[in-house]
Structure 1
C-alpha cells in the first residue's frame, strides 16, 4: 500500500496544470515496487516499449529496446526507460492507485527508469502532466518557467530544447516527488545509481479529437448533411464571410450532438497508447465455470492498465473499455460507477453481483476477452 502525503484539494486548486512543485517526503519510508533486475527483465521483452539513453557530453543517443546486454554501456552516463510498467508488473498497481485522485481517463502510464551516475535526459518540454517520484538513489532536477524555447539544433520533431534558467533546482531523495505541468522545460541528472518513477497524465489534442470524430462519422456513414446558403456572391471566385461562418456552424452543429461526441470521447479516452498484457485463455469460460470459480473463492482482477470509463450524462447506459463499447442497460449509475472504479471484486461481492444476469454476462465477457483474470 502506498499513501501519498499530499492534500489533494489544495494541490488541485493551486498546482495542477498551473505550476510545478516539489513535494518532499511525498511517500514516507518509500519502498521500490520493482528492482533494477526486474526492470531489466521487462526490457528484454519484444512487446514492451523500452529504450536506453546514453549521455554524450551535450548530446544524447537513444537505443530502442528490447535490451538484453548492458555491458557495452559501462557504469556511468546512461539510463534505461521502460514504459507502461503498470501493464506488465502487477506489484506496481498499488503505486498507481495512489494517484487516482486524478481521473483514470487522463492516466497515461507508469514509466520506470534505472539510471547510472551522469545518466539523464537533456532539457526538454513535455505536453503532458508528470509526477517524478524518486526511488532508490538520488537525482537532480531543474525546472524552468513557461516561455518560448528554441528546439535543440532547430529540429522541431524533438522535445529537446536549448538550455534554460531554472526556477527549481532540487535533489530528490527516496520518497520525494516533483510535479511538472505541460509546457515547463525540465532536465534530470543522476547523482548516484537510481530508480525513478514517472507517473504521466495526458489529455487529447485538437488533432486527436478531430481525427476521432472524422473516423466515427466515416465508420457510421453519418454527418452527411451538406451546407446550403440563401445568397451567392456577385463574383465567381469569392467565398463570402457569411458562407465561411455557415460552414463552421454546420460543423459546430454536428459536434454538439451527444450521439456523436459521447461515443467518440468514450472510445478515444479508454484506449491505451501502450500494449496491454492481455490474458490469453485456452478456451472461453462458461457461465457455470465462472460461478463455480467464485463459489470456490476466486477473485476477479482487471489486468494492469485497462481503462474502464463511464460518461456522466451518457445518452446510453454503457461502459467504454479499451476503446470498446459494452452496453449495460437497466443498471443504476451507482452500479456503473462501481464497475468502472473497482480494479478487483472478491468472490463474495462477485457472487452477489452475479445475481443479476447482466453483470454475470459482463464479468464473463471481461474474462473471455482477456481483460480480467481469476486469482
Structure 2
C-alpha cells in the first residue's frame, strides 16, 4: 500500500511535532492488513505485550496479557478494547504499514500497535510522549483531540492508565477505514469505537528524553574511565577560607567532566548502539550452528534473498564516502567498500537479493555471517 495523495514535505514543514492533522484516506487502495481473530490470537501468546481495557460505567479496568483464550468469550456486550504492541514483528502485512511513513528516519520508528474495540470501547482521554499516526483499519472510530499537555496536567487517579481529568476537545472527527489522524507528542486525544469491529493501527515514533541520553552516555563513558584518572591540583595555593570550593577548583572539575563527555565521534558510536537495541527480542533467529562463509557464498550465488528479523533494528552513520558504521541490535560493524555498500542496502528495506559478485568479498561474507549468527538476518527459506 502506498500514500497516493499525501505530500510528505508539506506535512513535515507544517504539522510534524507542531499540530494534529486529519488525513482522509490518502492510500492508492486501502486494505485492512489483519483480521480481528488474528489479533486476538497474538494476545494469547507468551512474549507478546497485550492489554485488555474494559468499561463498567465510567470506570475503566485494565488486564495485561497473555490473555487466556476463554477470556474473550466472557466479555459480554459491554465496551472493551484489546491493544497489542509490536504486531509488525509478527505480521508482515502490518509491518508493511511502516514503509509509507519512512520519510521519518528509521531510528525514530518504535512499532505498530493494533487495537480492536467493540462499540463504545476506548482507553480514555490521554496523551503520549511520542508522535503517532492512527490509521483506521476496520469500522469507525470517533477521535477527539485536545490541547497540548505536560507533567503539570491533572490526571485521574488510576493504577494502570494515565487518564486526563479535565479533557476539553478542540477537534472532533469520525475516521472511516483508510483515514489517518496524526497526533504530535503531548497532545490530548481520546478515541471511541463507533460500532463493533473497530480496528486501529498506531504507528508510533520514539524520541529519547534528555534524561535518558545523559544517563546512558555518562554511564557509558564512566565505565571506560581509568580508576587513576583523578582530580589533581599541583598548582594549589593558600586560599582565604578553607571551607570554600574556589572558582579555579570548580573550573578544573567541570572541565574534567565536560572533556570526558565531549567526544562527538564516541557519542555517535554509543548512540548508534543505544538506538539499535531491540525493544522486543523474543523473535530469536539465531541458528543452532554458526553459518560458514562457504555456505553464505553458495547461497548468494543462487541469489537467495536475505530477510531481516522484523524485531531487529538497523541503522548506520556515515563516516566518509566509502565507510560507514552499521548498527544492528546493539552491535556495531565498521564497514568500508563493498561491505559499506551492502550495509546501506540492508538498511533500506526488509529484504534484499545481494549481487552475486559481492560473494567474492571476504568483508561482505563476514558481515552477512555475523548478522545471521546474531539472529538479525537470515536467508529466505520461502516459509
TM-score (norm. length: structure 2) = 0.88
* Per-residue Cα deviation, 1:69-95 (whole angstroms, up to 9, x for no partner): 211222331111111111122222221
Does residue 1:364 correspond to 2:366, yes or no?
no
2:134 is paired with a residue of what secondary structure? strand
Does residue 1:178 correspond to 2:185, yes or no?
no
Contact 1:223 1:254 survives alignment (8 Å): no
CA 1:224–1:201: 2 relative to 1, 3 Å? farther
Comparing 292-301 and 30-39, the one that deviates more: 292-301
* Per-residue Cα deviation, 1:266-324 (whole angstroms, up to 9, x for no partner): 11111132235222423222222223233334211111132111124489842111111
Aligned equivalents of 1:273 and 1:237: distance in 2?
49
Contact 1:129 1:200 survives alignment (8 Å): yes
Comparing 99-108 and 324-333, the one that deviates more: 324-333
Contact 2:95 2:112 survives alignment (8 Å): no
Q: How does 1:18-167 map to 2 (within 5 A)?
A: 18-67=18-67, 68-69=69-70, 70-147=72-149, 150-153=153-156, 159-167=162-170
2:124 is paired with a residue of what secondary structure? strand
Query: How big is the alpha-carbon RMSD for the aligned residues of Structure 1 and Structure 2?
Result: 2.7
2:138 is paired with a residue of what secondary structure? coil
Does residue 1:320 correspond to 2:323, yes or no?
no
Q: Give the corresponding residue for 2:346.
A: 339
Contact 2:339 2:364 survives alignment (8 Å): no
Displacement after TM superposition at 1:10 (Å): 0.5
Aligned equivalents of 1:151 and 1:168: distance in 2?
20
Contact 2:54 2:79 survives alignment (8 Å): yes
CA 1:257–1:280: 2 relative to 1, 3 Å? closer
CA 1:126–1:227: 2 relative to 1, 3 Å? farther
Structure 1 residue runs without a partner (length 5+): none
Which of 259, 262, 266 aligns to 1:260? It is 266
Contact 2:111 2:203 survives alignment (8 Å): yes
Structure 2 residue runs without a partner (length 5+): none
Displacement after TM superposition at 1:2 (Å): 3.4
Aligned equivalents of 1:87 and 1:273: distance in 2?
11
1:213 is paired with a residue of what secondary structure? helix
CA 1:9–1:174: 2 relative to 1, 3 Å? same
Contact 1:300 1:350 survives alignment (8 Å): no
Aligned equivalents of 2:296 and 2:207: distance in 1?
37
Contact 1:133 1:197 survives alignment (8 Å): yes
Q: Give the corresponding residue for 1:191.
A: 194
Aligned equivalents of 1:207 and 1:373: distance in 2?
36
Aligned equivalents of 1:137 and 1:248: distance in 2?
58
Aligned equivalents of 1:329 and 1:200: distance in 2?
33
Aligned equivalents of 1:311 and 1:224: distance in 2?
33
Q: Give the corresponding residue for 2:214.
A: 210
Aligned residue-pair number? 373
Aligned equivalents of 1:144 and 1:243: distance in 2?
50
Comparing 249-258 and 62-71, the one that deviates more: 249-258
